Amino acid sequence: MEIFTTKIALDTYLSSFRSTNGTIGFVATMGALHEGHLALIRQSKQLTELTVCSIFVNPTQFNDPTDLEKYPRPIEQDIALLQSVACDVLFMPSVNEMYPDQNEHWHLDLGGLDLIWEGAHRPGHYQGVTQVVKKLFDAIQPTVAFFGQKDFQQCMVIQRMVEQLGLAVQLKIVETVRDPDGLAMSSRNVRLSSEGRKNALALSRALFMVKQKLNQGESLLQLKREAVDFLQQSPGITLEYFAICASDTLTEIEVLEEIDKPLVAILAAWVDGVRLIDNVLLIS
């Protein structure tokens, strides 16, 4: 695996590959890699000829400095994991490399997607996400970029950016990878105590309960009430939001239309002092 820390060195390497019209797959990460990230790498290896992974803890998407400071950075372990799945290139830039202008201004019209749910609870988060992903797309020029469904709203935000800016990259959303007990894999899970991790299982249980009961004909309003009640009564869970939304706009849906539209159940909650998000597609 080749490792680069500057855009110039990365571009020099990738230019020779692009000259043969090879396809490039890209997986953007903030490190602290787990099986969910490796699933994205494997997908890229299957569908493209060269796979690039980036590790960059992007400061502009953190609205809480403490959260940025606490974000895990086990770089040696991350490199070993990437080598284990035969990742071709690792791009690991510094903050100065990605943001040479400390006063850089960025704002993209995201159609309100950056103002609801995660956007409402983390102001400026998705502007920071699109800012850095655009920089990474420019540096790597991928054919296909792979993102995990667990960050569903992020996927929708990046899709909006790609469409708005007319970027020549295809997005591939890969299904959430879960532990055998149902917990969605997250870099933040390492911060959970054993009791906190056990309590966190209520999140996926609530989501899959909604999916099962929707198939049995319960109304959306009733399903939401049951899920919220379940989570509020679960030990160690502080719920921020739970919603059933149209999967394309993330507009909350309270009544199923005659023609079913794609729906997703989304949630965010605090467990053991750690903020976790999860979602399940209800109708795809």
φ, ψ of residue 131 to 5 degrees: the values are -60, -50
Determine the Cα–Cα distance for residues 205 and 181; give it in Å rounded to an integer: 10
Contacts of 21 (CB under 8 A, 6+ apart): none
Helix (H, G, I), strand (E, B) or coil at 192: coil
Residue 32 annotated as binding site:
yes
Neighbours of 225 (CB within 10 A): 13
Residue 35 annotated as binding site:
yes
Task: For the chain of 284 residues, list the mean pLDDT of each consecutive stretch of 10.
Answer: 98 93 96 97 98 96 87 94 98 97 92 95 95 98 98 98 97 97 95 97 98 92 97 98 95 77 95 97 88
In sequence order, the β-bridge partners of residue 275 are: 270
Residue 37 annotated as binding site:
yes
φ, ψ of residue 117 to 5 degrees: the values are 50, -110
- Whether 237 contacts 204, CB under 8 Å: no
Ordered by start, the domain boundaries in the chain are 2-174, 187-278
Helix (H, G, I), strand (E, B) or coil at 264: strand
Among 37, 105, 107, 125, the one annotated catalytic: 37
Measured at the CA of 280, the angle between CA 233 and CA 155, to 5 degrees, comes to 125
Residue 220: its pLDDT value, please? 94
Residue 124 annotated as binding site:
no
What homologous superfamily does CATH list for 187-278? Answer: Pantoate-beta-alanine ligase, C-terminal domain (3.30.1300.10)
Residue 203: its pLDDT value, please? 98
Residue 113: its pLDDT value, please? 95
pTM: 0.95
Q: Which H/E stretch holds residue 267?
A: strand 263-271
Residue 103: its pLDDT value, please? 85
Q: Which H/E stretch holds residue 148?
A: strand 144-148
Residue 215: its pLDDT value, please? 87
CA atoms within 13 A on the CB side of 3: 10
90 DSSP 8-state letter = E
Here the tokens at position 231 are 């989570």
Determine the Cα–Cα distance for residues 200 and 80; give it in Å rounded to an integer: 28
Residue 205: its pLDDT value, please? 98
Residue 148 annotated as binding site:
yes
CATH classification number, 2-174, choose in 3.40.710.10, 3.40.50.300, 3.40.50.620, 3.40.605.10 = 3.40.50.620
Residue 19 annotated as binding site:
no
> Is 37 assigned a catalytic role?
yes
Residue 258: its pLDDT value, please? 47
H helices of 49-184, in order, are 65-70, 75-84, 95-98, 118-121, 125-140, 152-165
Neighbours of 11 (CB within 10 A): 15
- Whether 121 contacts 268, CB under 8 Å: yes
Residue 150 annotated as binding site:
yes
Burial of 163 (0-12, 13-18, 19+ CB in 10 A): exposed
- Whether 237 contacts 202, CB under 8 Å: yes
